[in-house]
Amino acid sequence: MNRERLLTAGAVGTVAVALLVAGVVPGVLAGPDSREVVRPGPVQIADAAVAAENVSGATVDLRVETRLRHAGNPSENVTLVVRAVDGDSGLLQTTRRVDVGTLRGDRETTANATLSVEREGGYRIETVVYRDGERVDQGRTTLSGLSALQPPYARSDVTFAETDALPELSYSVADAGPNRTTLNVSTALTNGGDTAPDDLRVTVVARQAESNVVADRASVRVGSIRPGRTVAPSVRLTVPEGYNYYLDATLWRDGVLIDTARSTANLDPSRTISADETREEVEFEVSDFESDSATDGGRPTSDPTRLDTQAPGFGPVVALVALFSAGLLARRWAA
């Protein structure tokens, strides 16, 4: 056997052994790229919206809809934490955790959470996104005027009408006796809805302005008001003459107070009062969504730390001590 045959046989043997090892031990021939860790794609809050649901006399359910934007490689174990913080006290009211799961591809996903809070004041809704337990994004939105949300039993399309030609509450003197005055108080009610509610009742109270004592009260049943119609029910009140009065009217439906109105009756010629209305309509308001952090690849980036350039403990006293020490040292060297 010559030298060439020996070399050929050795090469064939080496290849055979390599093939045998590759078949017995899988992954020996795998390249280094196959063992690289795949980084998950970024997850960010794209938008958030809040809706009021299930309004009751004391509480309201806030439905928080958060849209998450994802791109790149799959992101596993994504969770959302939504909490309501009292706008005045800063105390945490309630928290909800939503498991989003795995996000794949370049798309947006919606995650919903419902928070039950008291129907008063305002709140700050904070949303935090976690990926595998790591915070990757957060945002907030504020709510105000929750008390303006009416429960279903208090909603009505019938209200006191107020126009220049037809005030919501007016009066005329029906009888002026030596000590008593009878007032004919008229109210104006308008149905701005599409149905005709029944069992409506108006109550008018006359309160003496200085003492706040109720001089007289009366009620009248209105019945049903057709859509788009205005009616003017009236009552008669007998009060002591020579005084000024506040006239307070309340509209009731099935025992529920649904609207109020106020006016004045000036029966004292030497002094007059005004209705002095301070009532203000405060609507339920939701602020725009605000992101609390800038994101870089799906991760919030913190602001640079500000350095305090003033060293603690170095004041005028220390400076004087330093000068005195330097003088002593210079005198010692001179000696």
Nearest to 105 by CA among 69, 66, 149, 74: 74
Co-location of 137 and 157 in the same domain: no
Question: What pLDDT, on the 0 to 100 scale, is given for residue 38?
Answer: 78
Nearest to 131 by CA among 67, 45, 46, 42: 42
Q: Give domain status of residue 162, yes or no.
A: yes
Co-location of 166 and 261 in the same domain: yes
CATH number at residue 87: 2.60.40.10
Helix, strand, or coil (residue 172): strand
Question: What pLDDT, on the 0 to 100 scale, is given for residue 24?
Answer: 54
User: Among residues 251, 266, 281, which one ends one of the domains?
Assistant: 266
Question: What pLDDT, on the 0 to 100 scale, is given for residue 320?
Answer: 43
Question: What pLDDT, on the 0 to 100 scale, is given for residue 327?
Answer: 47
Co-location of 191 and 258 in the same domain: yes
Co-location of 164 and 262 in the same domain: yes
User: Among residues 223, 243, 266, which one ends one of the domains?
Assistant: 266
Q: How many CB atoms lie within 10 A of CB 5?
A: 9
Nearest to 67 by CA among 52, 81, 43, 48: 48
Instruction: Give pLDDT tens digits along the chain (335 positions).
Output: 566 666 566 555 565 555 555 555 555 455 555 456 678 999 999 999 999 999 988 999 999 999 999 999 999 999 999 999 999 899 999 999 999 999 999 999 999 999 999 998 899 999 999 999 999 999 999 999 888 888 888 778 888 987 777 888 899 999 888 889 999 999 999 998 888 888 899 999 999 988 889 999 999 999 889 998 999 999 999 999 889 999 999 999 888 888 999 999 998 877 767 765 444 445 656 666 666 554 444 444 333 333 333 434 444 444 444 444 444 444 444 44
Expressed as residue numbers, the domain containing 164 is 152-266
User: Which is it for strands 299-301 and 294-296: parallel, antiparallel or unpaired?
Assistant: antiparallel
Number of domains in the chain: 2
Residue 85 CA to chain centroid, in angstroms? 9
Co-location of 180 and 227 in the same domain: yes
**N residues, the chain:** 335
Give 209's DSSP letter.
T
Q: Give domain status of residue 262, yes or no.
A: yes
Co-location of 131 and 156 in the same domain: no
Q: Point out which residues pair with 131 in neighbouring strands.
A: 78, 134
**Rounded Cα–Cα distance for residues 183 and 180 (Å):** 10
* Structure-token match 């010559």, residue found: 2
Co-location of 133 and 233 in the same domain: no
Co-location of 197 and 240 in the same domain: yes
* Contacts made by residues 319-322, CB under 8 angstroms, sequence distance 24+: none
Question: What pLDDT, on the 0 to 100 scale, is given for residue 331?
Answer: 47
Question: What pLDDT, on the 0 to 100 scale, is given for residue 272?
Answer: 67
Question: What pLDDT, on the 0 to 100 scale, is given for residue 279?
Answer: 47
Give 32's DSSP letter.
G
Q: Give domain status of residue 261, yes or no.
A: yes
Question: What pLDDT, on the 0 to 100 scale, is given for residue 78?
Answer: 95
User: Among residues 113, 148, 183, which one ends one of the domains?
Assistant: 148
Q: Give domain status of residue 231, yes or no.
A: yes
Co-location of 156 and 256 in the same domain: yes
Question: What pLDDT, on the 0 to 100 scale, is given for residue 155?
Answer: 79
Q: What Å distances lie between residue 212 and 39, 186, 247, 249, CA to CA?
A: 73, 21, 11, 15
| Rg of the chain, C-alpha, whole Å | 40
Question: What pLDDT, on the 0 to 100 scale, is given for residue 141?
Answer: 92
Question: What pLDDT, on the 0 to 100 scale, is given for residue 283?
Answer: 60
**Rounded Cα–Cα distance for residues 264 and 30 (Å):** 93
Co-location of 167 and 221 in the same domain: yes
Co-location of 74 and 171 in the same domain: no
